[in-house]
Amino acid sequence: MELCIDFGGSEIKLGVLDRGAPVRTAAVPAAEGGLDRTRNAAAELIAAAASPPDSVGVAVPGVVDRAAGRLVKAHDKQRHLDGVDLVAWARASFGLPAVIENDARAALVGEITAGSAAGATDAVLMTLGTGIGTAAVIGGTLLRGAHDHAGILGGHLTVDLDADRCNCGNIGCAESIAGAWAIRRDLAARGDAVTDVAHMLAAADSGDAAAVALRDRAIRAWGATAVSLCHAYDPDVVVLSGGILRAGAAVAVPIESYAAEHLWTSSHRPDFVIPDRPDLSVLRGLSVLAAEDRPRRSASADR
């Protein structure tokens, strides 16, 4: 059994899982979710579970240093976690060994293990929410790179050289055009009282010309990101997840169509899938990663 904690942008999701299968889950609003509140919520979850967990998985929305157990950089997300050794925190809080991973990587593991892309060995994920998170698995191996940055910065691929500077420092990132935070910014700039993506999509469907322009620009940014991920990693499957995908086919179909039109002529046209339980993707993946890490830790302890 694994205790899994996903420090998301809007809420902190917690679960006790058995190698990817949820046993009990809970959530805490991110605004209320300091480490003490998270610890208490997790303790309540453990107490209610039939069997106690024997390891912990922690996901954060940014670059992680897995060896140091820390969030390295997230740019305006979960700032209270910057520099915190979350592996040590989990050990002190629950008396259990822990692993830490970027949330998009964990979500992809969850989807290829027990979700919408189950069994896939070559896949990429785009999670469209406050930002744009990405991850890749190639030949069954999760892409991390020499410094834990590989695969997860797809939202910071440049899709418009003439756009404004992103908060990451780059110019024209997809996230700075089509992350929910950027869409809210643009809606507010045009004077909308309601500034969320659902409002933009509904207004575009009703024929609002300004909303149509914002929607189409976002779709081009999402589509260009998908094309770049496919060119870089050559997947069989593209997983589209995140809060924006609550719109379903209204977002997914244009992204897939854009990719089909703009991919290199001989490139494989991958399947595009949407998780049926995107709220569980990260927790499922953390459960698998924590379970897989147990033998390694046991072997290290025996040496």
Which domains are assigned to the chain? 2-103+282-302 (3.30.420.40), 116-274 (3.30.420.40)
Report the distance separating Cα 214 and Cα 183, nearest Å.
8
pLDDT at residue 77 in the model: 59
DSSP category for residue 56: E
The answer to whether residues 249 and 126 touch, using CB atoms and an 8 Å cutoff, is: no
Tell which residue, 184, 205, 203, 206, has the closest CA to residue 195.
184
Whole-angstrom distance between the N-terminal and C-terminal Cα of the chain?
25
- Between 128 and 80, the more confident residue is 128
164: number of Cβ within 10 Å: 13
Q: What's the whole-model pTM score? A: 0.92
Question: Using 50, 70 and 90 to split pLDDT, how confident is the model at 302?
Answer: very low
pLDDT at residue 32 in the model: 79
Q: What is the per-residue burial (b if ≥16 Cβ within 10 Å, else e) of 114-151?
A: bbbbeebebbbbbbbbbbbbbbbbbeeebbbeeebebb
Mean pLDDT score, 68-86: 75
Cβ-in-10-Å burial (0-12, 13-18, 19+) of 157 comes to buried
CA angle, 182 then 69 then 121, to 5°: 70
pLDDT at residue 298 in the model: 53
Phi and psi, residue 180, nearest 5°: -60, -35
Cα R_g (the chain), whole angstroms: 19
Give per-residue pLDDT as tens, 99-126: 999 999 999 999 999 899 999 999 999 9
Q: For residue 250, is pLDDT > 50?
A: yes
Out of 43-52, 68-77, 196-205, least confident range: 68-77
DSSP category for residue 183: H
Specify the 3-state DSSP secondary structure of 136: strand
pLDDT at residue 78 in the model: 64
Report the distance separating Cα 178 and Cα 184, nearest Å.
9
pLDDT at residue 303 in the model: 41
Edge-to-edge strand order for the sheet containing 271-273? 141-142, 132-138, 123-128, 237-241, 271-273
Q: How far is CA 113 from the centre of its chain?
A: 16
Mean pLDDT score, 229-244: 96
Tell which residue, 68, 64, 74, 71, has the closest CA to residue 88.
68
Show the DSSP H helices in 84-208 as ranges.
Answer: 86-94, 103-114, 174-178, 180-189, 197-205
Cβ-in-10-Å burial (0-12, 13-18, 19+) of 94 comes to buried
Average pLDDT, the chain: 91
pLDDT at residue 62 in the model: 86
